A and B are shown apart, each in its own frame.
Chain A
Amino acid sequence: MYRYDEFDHAMVKDRVEQFRGQIARRMAGDLAEEQFRPLRLQNGLYLQLHAYMLRVAIPYGQLNAVQMRKLAHIARTYDKGYGHFTTRQNIQFNWPKLSQVADILDELASVEMHAIQTSGNCIRNTTADQYAGVTADEIEDPRIFAEIIRQWSTFHPEFTFLPRKFKIAVSGAVGADRAAVRFHDIGLFIVKNDAGEVGFEVWVGGGLGRTPMIGKKIRDFVAKADLLAYLEAVLRVYNMLGRRDNMYKARIKILVHETGVEEFTRLVEEEFLDTRGGDLDLPAEEIDRIAAYFQPPAYEALADDPPALTARRFEDKDFNAWVRVNVARHKVAGYAIANISLKPVGAPPGDMSADQMDAVADLAEKFSIGGIRVTHEQNLVLPDVRQEQLYDLWRGLRDQGLADANLDHIGDIICCPGLDFCSLANARSIPVAEQISRRFADLDRQYDIGELRLKISGCINACGHHHVGHIGILGVDRKDQEYYQITLGGAPGEDAAIGTKIGAAFSAAEIVDAVETVVNTYLAIRQPKERFIDTFRRVGDAPFKESLYDKAA
């Protein structure tokens, strides 16, 4: 993985001292709260319902064991012993004290981490495919370019006060999109052109929130050398023309929509004429320098499905299920990509205790040469595990309550913090997730249902990605009562789609039954081996509406 050089170290160190000074000026009354607010947000510090919340960046989801232990240490020392992994490859601590925040940032800097630009109207943490570098279907490793973008976007003087937040995602895989690329302000797919050169296909204006939109492709190919010049052109057009009169219409998706894709593209291309061919050109030496950090580790010559694995799978039904569901194929024979579900039955999705973090750090050192990844689905990945060691890894995970074999099933729920923590929320989301996971706790039942992405947001800002859930749940406030709307048919990945609202909302007491009704309706009408999403696409919403709302039926 990438390691900081002297410049990167100086950058985060200086930033901590700068923020320490700003906090001191705020506490002394020299800085008004209104002026302090964007400064603290751009250092990841929110003021939530009960306390401050610190959001720490995990750039493109990559962590090593030392960093994971540091997160455990911070959770234990400065918080209540746990952290919450988000849908943007960040981790949140819910209970830090303002007076200790600079010390936490110091701790992070010591392991090459930071909370820079994890909030505010600026370019946020750049995310990537969690299988980067280990999946067979990849053109090039997206982490290289996500790191280049991380550096370029850090403290960009021109783009620190954009109309609204700005999120970039990169994927290098062919045919699979695990990073919800089309739902980002800028989504980049690494592609090969007809001449065999590698570059980027650029999508702009995707996003969720109150106006969900799938991004639009504005360019088939941007050469590697032009990447930053092109990004800067898009950002400059957005900074100058994005709406600032209404924060709900300020994202780039609205600008692209109101301007029209063609005109927007023309404006970007015009700007690109100015930005390219100058200081922003990315020298090959810099790409090579960063790529060197992402070279594959020295893999041993091993065979797939070693006897040690097949025997254990035969003997142990639970282990076999975990391998079948949570383990993905690695590009190198004899290795495996192991997903760690952070979705145990009846617990908040994405939460992890300090002890679990330490345990995963140990397991990663023992079994995964490539470290740890964090996914936008609020799970973890150990990307480089020898297949013959999967059983030992699984036992280690099971001891920590981290061996839930529910990846991409109904128990693997994406969920925002909701009204239990968040000052924006209209309704609680965690208790709903907990109840659904209890209702569907039986794994055999989950496997019978098959792939089903369920996503819950506690308000229209959609941090829980409900628009792209096969089943989405949106918490709303109705006369001070929590209600939940169901959307069906959304999908985040290569088959990107926005879900459609199925009908009137359900009360907190009704929502779990309603989800079960949707699932049972699917089970009754599906064709052999048909996934929920495919059934929905085949039959539309009518049968679901009927079973949910037609009491006479």
Chain B
Amino acid sequence: MTKLLKNGKTVADTWTHVTDDDAVPETGPVIVTLARWRAEHNTLAARKDGLGIRLESGQSPEAIKDDLSRFAVVALEFPKFADGRAYSYARMLKERLGYTGEVRAVGDVLRDQYRAMHRCGFDTLEVAGDVPADKLEADWQAALAELRHAYQPALRGPEPVLRQRHRAAAA
């Protein structure tokens, strides 16, 4: 059973993923595929409940840059954890495209990658499996705390070492 991690807490997920074959439910917030969005653009845009989009790892957010304001969630897929494209996509969404909604990691989301996802700007993580909520939250805390410092700037995480060094020197 998939759980949703947000800021290190498991939270209720109100969103429904709709595949290309599923019927879109009448009500409630849905996350649709890029193909679905392209095919049913007008109907989906008219929905009153929330709309999100799911991008596969070969689909760059560039493809939806003009429609971003319509999506409350952009879900970026890790088809396997070793496919790292979504790390760059998450940064592109927030840094270049100025997206302010929820960026969600879906697919092969594993504990040893929580920290990198967090630093690259993912807001929520869908974690598959039967891990109890408290274990999931403890894993999250541990994964983030494992490395105290970071050399490079990113969207979140510790202040880069380089800046700490020269702040200390200036003080």
What residues make up the interface of A, taking CB atoms closer than 8 Å to B? Answer: 5, 7, 10-11, 14-15, 17-18, 21-22, 31, 35, 38-39, 121, 151-152, 154-162, 228, 236, 239-240, 244, 274, 278-280, 283, 285-286, 289
- Give chain B interface residues in 52-110, CB to chain A under 8 Å: 57, 60, 81-85, 87-89, 91-92, 95-96, 110
Out of B81, B112, B153, name the residue touching A279 (CB < 8 Å): B153
Q: Which residue of A lies closest to B85 (CB)?
A: A240
Asked if B151 and A158 make an inter-chain contact with CB atoms under 8 angstroms apart, the answer reads no
- Extra inter-chain contacts (9) besides given A121-B82, A156-B152, A283-B162, CB under 8 Å: A14-B147, A121-B84, A151-B152, A152-B151, A158-B87, A160-B84, A161-B82, A239-B87, A286-B166
Q: How far is the CB of A248 from chain B (nearest CB, A)?
A: 16
Assess whether B146 is interfacial by the CB under 8 Å rule: yes
Asked if B89 and A161 make an inter-chain contact with CB atoms under 8 angstroms apart, the answer reads no
Name 11 A/B residue pairs within 8 A (Cβ), A-sorted: A35-B81, A121-B82, A157-B150, A157-B154, A157-B157, A159-B87, A161-B82, A161-B83, A239-B85, A244-B85, A279-B153
What residues make up the interface of B, taking CB atoms closer than 8 Å to A? Answer: 57, 60, 81-85, 87-89, 91-92, 95-96, 110, 112, 115-117, 119-120, 146-154, 157, 160-166, 169
The answer for the CA separation of A251 and B120 in the assembled complex, in Å, is 23
Name, among B60, B87, B146, the residue most crowded by chain A CB atoms within 10 Å (CB to CB).
Answer: B87
Count of chain A to chain B residue pairs whose CB atoms are closer than 8 Å in the complex: 101
Q: How far is the CB of A288 from chain B (nearest CB, A)?
A: 10
Asked if B116 and A160 make an inter-chain contact with CB atoms under 8 angstroms apart, the answer reads yes
Given A7-B165, A289-B165, A158 contacting B149 (CB threshold 8 A): no
Asked if A239 and B151 make an inter-chain contact with CB atoms under 8 angstroms apart, the answer reads no
Asked if A39 and B112 make an inter-chain contact with CB atoms under 8 angstroms apart, the answer reads yes
Asked if B82 and A38 make an inter-chain contact with CB atoms under 8 angstroms apart, the answer reads yes
Residues of A within 8 A of B57 (CB): 244
Residues of B within 8 A of A21 (CB): 146
The answer for the CA separation of A285 and B164 in the assembled complex, in Å, is 12
Residues of B within 8 A of A228 (CB): 152
Given A152-B151, A162-B84, A239-B88, A157 contacting B162 (CB threshold 8 A): no
The answer for the CA separation of A15 and B119 in the assembled complex, in Å, is 17
Given A22-B112, A158-B87, A274-B95, A7 contacting B161 (CB threshold 8 A): yes
Asked if A157 and B119 make an inter-chain contact with CB atoms under 8 angstroms apart, the answer reads yes
Residues of A within 8 A of B165 (CB): 5, 7, 286, 289
Out of A244, A274, A278, name the residue touching B83 (CB < 8 Å): A244
Out of B82, B148, B160, B163, name the residue touching A14 (CB < 8 Å): B148
Asked if B120 and A157 make an inter-chain contact with CB atoms under 8 angstroms apart, the answer reads yes
Out of B85, B116, B161, name the residue touching A157 (CB < 8 Å): B116
Q: Which residue of A lies closest to B112 (CB)?
A: A39
Given A157-B87, A158-B116, A286-B166, A17 contacting B153 (CB threshold 8 A): no
Asked if A286 and B83 make an inter-chain contact with CB atoms under 8 angstroms apart, the answer reads no
Asked if B88 and A158 make an inter-chain contact with CB atoms under 8 angstroms apart, the answer reads yes
Q: How far is the CB of A6 from chain B (nearest CB, A)?
A: 9
Asked if A286 and B162 make an inter-chain contact with CB atoms under 8 angstroms apart, the answer reads yes
The answer for the CA separation of A154 and B165 in the assembled complex, in Å, is 17
Given A35-B81, A244-B83, A14 contacting B146 (CB threshold 8 A): yes
Residues of B within 8 A of A10 (CB): 148-149
Q: How far is the CB of B160 from chain A (nearest CB, A)?
A: 7
Residues of A within 8 A of B117 (CB): 157
Residues of B within 8 A of A278 (CB): 153
Q: How far is the CB of B98 from chain A (nearest CB, A)?
A: 11
Residues of A within 8 A of B164 (CB): 7
Residues of A within 8 A of B81 (CB): 35, 161
Q: How far is the CB of B13 from chain A (nearest CB, A)?
A: 24
Residues of B within 8 A of A160 (CB): 84, 87, 116
